[in-house]
Amino acid sequence: MLKNPPPFVSRYLDALPVDNEDAPVSRQVSGVCASRAQMRGFSDPQLIAWNPDLAGSLSLQDLFTNPGVAANVLCGNQLLPGMRPYAMRYGGHQFGHWAGQLGDGRAINLGELPDQRGRMQGLQLKGAGPTAYSRQGDGLAVLRSSLREYLCSAAMIALQIPSTRALSLVLTGEQVVRDMFYDGNPKLESGAVVCRVSESFIRFGHFELLAARHEFPLQRQLADFVIANHYAHIDQDPARRYQAWFHEICACSLQLVLDWQRVGFVHGVLNTDNMSILGETIDYGPYGWLEDYDPLWTPNTTDAAGRRYSFGNQPAIVHWNLAMLANALYQLIADRDFLEAEIAQFESDFQVRMTGLQLAKTGFCNWPWNAGEWQQLLQHAPVEEWVAFVLQTEELLKSRSTDYTIFYDLLADFNIGAAFGAGLDSAPDLAALHRHLADAFYDSDVDTATYNSRLQKWAETYARLSRRIGLEQPLRKRRMRQCNPRYVLRNYMAQEAIDLAETGDYSRIAELFQLLQKPYADQPAMHNRYCKKRPAWANSKPGCAMLSCSS
């Protein structure tokens, strides 16, 4: 055992009604916010990765001096003082349809610890066994999906995008049956548990289920808990606090989806039960990073027909999910005009800020969004000109198979003003720009004349607007480097780490974890391959081109 381990607390259990039946028997539950959970236990757990910075922030670094003890604690075999396992009760809309009670079917909350800033952080084990909400599932998870969550949550934090975090990755020593593509081909996979960390795992679906079951006093109690513990700065006047709270949920959700669009992240399954009440990225399933620029691209095979959760649809889906939350909170807020205005304002704000985001990606302003900078740009050119340039940029990206990340990474180093703004006596250096961007293209059989014509018109507009506002190359490059990552977790990179880990080689997990800590920076030459296009072998390999909700 550890010497003097930090004691855990469970504010959620202390403040809200709980179902004390801990048998992992799937059932409908009412009148509570959580159910107690039993730890299943595993035969031979092995710690294969952990986040030392996060462990230190939680004063848990001593736990990892003994990997055996750490593995047992972080798969649920051993409980530390104060840990009281429980599963949360919630519902949600899945692919646009009300799904009723869902809940933590394979996530078990252990309790909370203060971090170095004094903020309480909850620890949750995903894949530790069944709960009252497991439905027909076994409550387990596999290495494939757990490794992807471990790496991607770390990548998002380094990209400065709100996210749950992952403390550890543990192999359970057992095999789990999974049908990866739900096509009648199940196989045994290595079982694993990932330990998630967040200030709260409460989702939109918590409030939806309570509204659907007409448990309105309990919904108010839960809302008061969330505000007191996670939005304590909100005015406590009962006539205003719920409105102010919903306004902030809309604001943080807007910022979240803008950041996803900025870096090319596609969540893959944006159901309302996968939307955090804190505006964090939560539930890493069939996610992917946009490579060939296609607004309709989705990494989720389950979504292939409708593409509801495709890259370009993410803002509209977040907007729709907020509308579902507004419906759920109507009895609490009781002001239809306010709720409708907030939902409408989200859409209006998104259009303006998305234009600002796309201008930041090309260096015309800084990111995050700054309304003052936007007003300065409007002093030099009307909004129609800026919007036209944004649309030109998107059409350029779509006109051939262009890697979203690499295009902006390369573009930052090319002096558009010098190449296309030297004056009428100097011909634009289109060939130099085309050569400079060549490594961003996946296709080779493109109509070069048509593409070059479009490229030249876009570059001339870019240079003209740059001259108009006095944008020099050093400032442009610095802004672009701060907004556009060089390294993202491409699916083939994660799959390589999975394939190696299945053989007992965990070195690639550590390598990628370190690489992803500095996504905006130049890195040693040994990492050059990670900022290049996906290899051809990944175009059709399962886990690279094709993913599902299976985990």
Tell me how crowded residue 126 is: count the other CB atoms within 10 A of its CB.
24
Q: How far, in Å, CA of 307 to CA of 298, rounded?
A: 6
Q: Which of 93, 114, 112, 113 has the alpha carbon at shortest distance from 102?
A: 93
Long-range contacts of 529-536 (CB under 8 A, 24+ apart): 530/487, 530/490, 530/493, 531/405, 531/406, 531/409, 531/486, 531/487, 532/406, 532/439, 533/291, 533/403, 533/406, 533/439, 533/440, 533/442, 534/291, 534/490, 534/491, 534/492, 535/492
Q: One digit per residue, pLDDT tens: the chain, 551 residues?
A: 567 777 999 999 999 999 999 999 999 999 999 999 999 999 999 999 999 999 999 999 999 999 999 999 999 999 999 999 999 999 999 999 999 999 999 999 999 999 999 999 999 999 999 999 999 889 999 999 999 999 999 999 999 999 999 999 999 999 999 988 777 889 999 999 999 999 999 999 999 999 999 999 999 999 999 999 999 999 777 778 999 999 999 999 999 999 999 999 999 999 999 999 999 999 999 999 999 999 999 999 999 999 999 999 999 999 999 999 999 999 999 999 999 999 999 999 999 999 999 999 999 999 998 999 999 999 999 999 999 999 999 999 999 999 999 999 999 999 998 889 755 445 678 999 999 999 999 998 888 889 999 999 999 999 999 999 999 999 999 999 999 999 999 999 999 999 999 999 999 999 999 999 999 999 999 899 999 999 999 998 889 977 877 65
Q: Is the separation of the CB atoms in 365 and 352 below 8 Å?
A: no
Q: What is the pLDDT of residue 1?
A: 55
* pTM reported for the whole predicted model: 0.97
Q: Which residue type, as a one-letter code, is found at position 1?
A: M
Query: What pLDDT does residue 235 have?
Result: 79
d(CA 83, CA 73): 10
- Residue corresponding to tokens 């400032």: 475
pLDDT at 193: 98
Domain map (residue ranges) of the chain:
11-202, 206-355, 379-483
**Which pLDDT value is given to residue 424?**
46
203's tokens: 């989702």
Separation between Cα atoms, residue 108 and residue 106, nearest integer Å: 7
Q: Catalytic one among 19, 224, 273, 283?
A: 273
Burial of 474 (0-12, 13-18, 19+ CB in 10 A): exposed
**Phi-psi group of 15: left, alpha or beta (phi > 0 → left; psi -120 to 50 → alpha; rest → beta):** alpha
Please say if 273 is a catalytic residue. Answer: yes
242 vs 517: CA distance, rounded Å: 37
Predicted local distance difference test score (pLDDT) of residue 414: 96
- Residue type at 56 in one-letter notation: G
Distance in angstroms (rounded) separating the CA atoms of residues 152 and 551: 15
